[in-house]
Structure 1
């Protein structure tokens, strides 16, 4: 048996935000066992904190969806860092997390945590027509002030700028995955420093809150000239209302020469449940 915690991430109240299971004492579990546990929980991600293999790291996490392991993800990083800090495993303040992507700085506070993104990357610019159609939207729903395309800061996402009233109307078609580069397709309306987003996974389903997409969003906003200019900018990301789990993600974007040089995402974390789970057979 292994102890676990269930957390709601990017919210200030239970039964909102994005659900996360954190399974403890997992260093002796095999990949197959971790995958089976993640499938049993059925959340978008399950995190397994284990000892680091890099001496520069304070801890390491492995992150599994119900179908595969991810090299990096936002809400498991935020939730796990906060949980370890609340238990005294990590001191409050700065710490270094190790994932399959490498090392990332986290800052842990009493009720929240903040994660620094990977190196910002801007990918291809895209014709907005196919991703809009994949969401059941029309070209008239597309915001003409920015171009669709790919960006990332740990994981890549495809971004589609849409008018404010179109976000709630997005309804993904079964072929959505054919029009997505990276982890998912993000419909975004950005007005006065607030981004209303929905993230549809390429593998199917919609996230109530996606930290890695918020990091990538900061890179995309800077590249499209949607932030005021050089400097450090705060962007509030609203997500999850359409699936009944409203979430708030706080994104910080540092821009130099019109390019995002650093991004971070933070949010509050609420504990929801504790328990013990059986260890699956290893074969």
Structure 2
């Protein structure tokens, strides 16, 4: 039997935010067994902390959705680091996490954690009209003050700027995935230093909170001139209200010369469950 913890991430109360399963002691399990456990939990992600294989790392993290492995993600990075701290395996403060994407700094605090993103990348600019149509929205719902397109800082996402009120009406349509570059399509309404977003996965489904999308959002906001071209910025990202799991994501962005040079994402973590799960045959 393996022990596991379930935590809610990007929230200060249980049964909100995005749930994550962290499974311990999986060093000897095969890829198929890890995938079977993630499929059994059925959460957006299940995390497996393992001994590091690279110099400088405090631990290695493998991340699985119910159907595949991810090279990098924000939610499991924050949640796992916090769980390891509560188990006495990490201290409060800076640590280094190893994933398929490489080494990333995590800062663990008593109520949550913060993750440094990968190298910021700005992808293609995209026509907003087909993206809006893919979500059942009208061209009049699109915010003309910024151009749609792709950005990432560990994982790529497609961003569509929309007017206030349009996000709640978004519904993926037939052929939706054909218009998405990266892991998902993110309609975003940005005003007054706060972003209201949703994240529709290209593979289907909607996230209650998406750390990797928030990291990419910081890159996109600077590139589109929605954040000042120089300095340190803090953005509150609201997500999950539409699926009954309100989430608050803390986004920190460093901009130099109109380019995002460093992005970090943070949030609170709340324990929900602890138990045992069988090892798949």
Distance 2:174 2:157 in 1: 18
Correspondence list, 1:79-90, <5 A: 79-90=79-90
Deviations 1:149-197 (A, max 9, x none): 0000000000000001101110111311100000000000000100000
The residue number in structure 1 matching 2:182 is 182
Once the two structures are superposed, what CA deviation does each residue of 1:225-259 show, in whole Å capped at 9, x if it has no partner?
00123000000000000000000000000000000
Deviation at 1:91, TM superposition (A): 1.1
User: 1:256-275 counterparts in 2 under 5 A?
Assistant: 256-275=256-275
Mean CA deviation greater in 132-141 or 82-91: 82-91
1:7 CA drift (Å): 0.4
Equivalent residue number for residue 124 of structure 2: 124
Task: Say yes or no: does 1:56 pair with 2:20.
Answer: no
Counterpart position of 1:276: 276
CA distance in 2, matches of 1:175, 1:75: 28
Deviation at 1:86, TM superposition (A): 1.6
- Following superposition, the deviation at residue 80 of structure 1 comes to 0.2
Structure 1 residue 216, shift from structure 2 partner: 0.1
Query: What is aligned with 1:234?
Result: 234
> What CA RMSD, in Å, does the superposition of the two structures yield over aligned residues?
0.5
Q: Which runs of 5+ in 1 are unaligned?
A: none
1:164 is paired with a residue whose SS is: coil
- Deviation digits for residues 102-153 of structure 1, max 9, x if unmatched? 0000000001100000000000000001110000001000000000000000
Match of 1:145 in 2: 145
Matched length: 281
Q: Scaled by the length of structure 2, what TM-score is found?
A: 0.99
Indicate the SS of the match to 2:204: coil
Quote the residue 1:196 is aligned against. 196
- 2:206 & 2:174 partners in 1: Cα distance? 13
Aligned to 1:157: 157
* C-alpha distance in structure 1 between counterparts of 2:19 and 2:173, whole Å: 25
- Per the alignment, residue 115 of structure 2 pairs with 115
Q: What is the CA–CA distance in structure 2 between the aligned matches of 1:195 and 1:86, rounded to whole Å?
A: 31
The 5-angstrom pairing of residues 66-85 of structure 1 reads 66-85=66-85
- Unaligned runs of at least 5 residues, structure 2: none
Secondary structure (helix, strand or coil) at the match of 2:198 reads strand
Aligned position for 2:209: 209
Counterpart-to-counterpart distance in 2, 1:82 and 1:210: 17
CA distance in 2, matches of 1:99, 1:192: 34
Instruction: Show the counterpart of 2:27.
Output: 27
Post-superposition, which runs of at least 4 consecutive aligned residues in structure 1 deviate over 2 A? none
TM-score normalized by the length of structure 1: 0.99
Q: What secondary structure, in the 3-state scheme, does the structure 2 residue paired with 1:165 have?
A: coil
